[in-house]
């Protein structure tokens, strides 16, 4: 989306008949823009500095409102304002600690009491409280809902999606669903509250089965990052994440002066195979390096046990720090 100032936009509007379907604004200039842009917009991406921004006609009538930043420190006012937004789709695309589990449930209750129109939706990033699975279980119990099997979810946004259906009347229901997102921390989830027509999706009695895919967690299934140390180590150290996945840290010998330490997220039980493979590869590389060095300098290489112990200590310390971070985040 191109970024232009108000004078430039005014100049364009005076010379060219233009229709605007989407706009991104810091909020402070919406009053001026109202004279240049015909409402309603398809999408308005807004950085909010004060709740009065939502009173502007452009903000009130936009079909899709994306709040990218919320800079004012008035939690009660913010929640009340967000609850009363009239936009068909509202997305809180920032981290707001005000949206606790209790606050989200209060919003669900408000939507049920006010009979929101079919198609209305509200999504927020959940960064505290219970894990998403436990939260949805509490939603089901509080509102006497049923689990829902979603057949059409955005796999680019969610994985391991769970959903709960809450009946409003004979024609509509509130569907609350969510899951961990790809681009956030593993504890950060996205919760969507959406009004759908009865019969939109198949309701089930039990929670959806958990996917067999290994969750990406912090590191996206594969190579995380590479850290140089003074010496390699032939062992692999594993740090358990949950019942299905673990982090494996192992050293890779290099032809250069500094070896590398690699961290990967793998399925539980795979670390033994990795450790065996790494040991074999590193020993073969060590023998090859010894032969090459002997041919060049006729000096018999010797093992530095103290350096090996130092490398093992550093790897163990790194594994401990990762485990500590995971514990803190969860």
List the pLDDT tens digit at each of the 330 positions of the chain: 444 444 444 544 444 455 556 676 665 556 556 556 666 888 888 888 778 888 888 888 889 999 888 777 777 777 888 888 999 999 998 888 778 889 999 999 999 999 888 999 999 988 777 888 889 999 999 999 988 876 655 544 554 567 899 999 888 999 998 877 654 455 567 899 999 888 776 555 445 444 443 333 433 333 333 333 334 444 566 666 666 677 767 665 555 545 566 677 777 766 556 555 655 565 555 665 666 555 555 554 555 455 565 666 677 777 777 766 665 555
Q: Where are the alpha helices (H) located in 26-150, listed in sequence order? A: 30-33, 57-61, 75-83, 101-114, 132-143
Tell how strand 89-92 and strand 121-126 pair up.
Answer: parallel
pLDDT of residue 252: 59
Report the alpha-carbon distance of residue 186 to residue 37 in Å, rounded: 40
pLDDT of residue 291: 60
pLDDT of residue 221: 36
pLDDT of residue 138: 92
pLDDT of residue 31: 55
Domain parsing of the chain, residue ranges: 6-204, 223-329
pLDDT of residue 45: 87
pLDDT of residue 34: 56
Report the alpha-carbon distance of residue 164 to residue 190 in Å, rounded: 14
pLDDT of residue 141: 93
pLDDT of residue 224: 38
Quick one: which of 177, 188, 168 has its CA closest to 125?
188
pLDDT of residue 111: 92
pLDDT of residue 113: 92
Quick one: which of 83, 92, 133, 137 has its CA closest to 110?
83
Half-sphere exposure of 106 (CA within 13 A, CB side): 12
């Amino acid at each position: 989306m191109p970024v232009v100032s108000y004078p430039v936009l005014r100049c364009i509007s005076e010379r060219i008949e233009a229709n605007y379907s989407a706009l991104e604004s810091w909020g402070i200039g919406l009053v001026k823009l109202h004279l240049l842009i015909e409402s309603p917009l398809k999408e308005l991406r807004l950085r909010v500095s004060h709740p009065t921004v939502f009173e502007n006609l452009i903000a009130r009538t936009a079909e899709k409102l994306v709040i990218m930043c919320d800079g004012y420190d008035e939690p009660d006012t913010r929640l009340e304002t967000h609850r009363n937004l009239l936009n068909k789709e509202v997305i809180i695309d920032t981290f707001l600690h005000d949206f606790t589990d209790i606050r989200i449930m209060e919003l669900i209750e408000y939507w049920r009491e006010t009979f929101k129109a079919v198609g209305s939706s509200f999504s927020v990033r959940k960064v505290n409280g219970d894990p998403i699975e436990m939260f949805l279980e509490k939603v089901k119990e509080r509102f006497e809902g049923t689990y829902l099997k979603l057949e059409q979810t955005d796999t680019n946004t969610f994985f391991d999606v769970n959903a709960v259906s809450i009946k409003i009347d004979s024609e509509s229901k509130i569907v609350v669903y969510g899951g961990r997102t790809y681009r956030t921390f593993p504890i950060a989830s996205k919760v969507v509250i959406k009004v759908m027509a009865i019969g939109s999706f198949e309701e089930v009695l039990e929670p959806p089965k958990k996917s067999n895919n290994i969750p990406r967690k912090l590191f996206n299934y594969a190579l995380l990052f590479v850290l140089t140390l003074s010496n390699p180590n032939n062992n692999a150290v594993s740090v358990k994440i949950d019942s299905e996945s673990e982090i494996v840290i192992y050293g890779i010998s290099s032809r250069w002066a500094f070896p590398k330490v690699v961290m990967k997220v793998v399925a539980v039980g795979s670390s033994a195979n990795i450790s065996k493979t790494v040991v074999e590869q590193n020993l073969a590389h060590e023998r090859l390096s010894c032969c090459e060095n002997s041919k060049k300098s006729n000096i018999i290489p010797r093992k530095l046990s103290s350096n090996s112990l130092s490398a093992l200590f550093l790897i163990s310390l790194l594994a401990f720090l990762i485990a500590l971070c995971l514990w803190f985040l969860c």
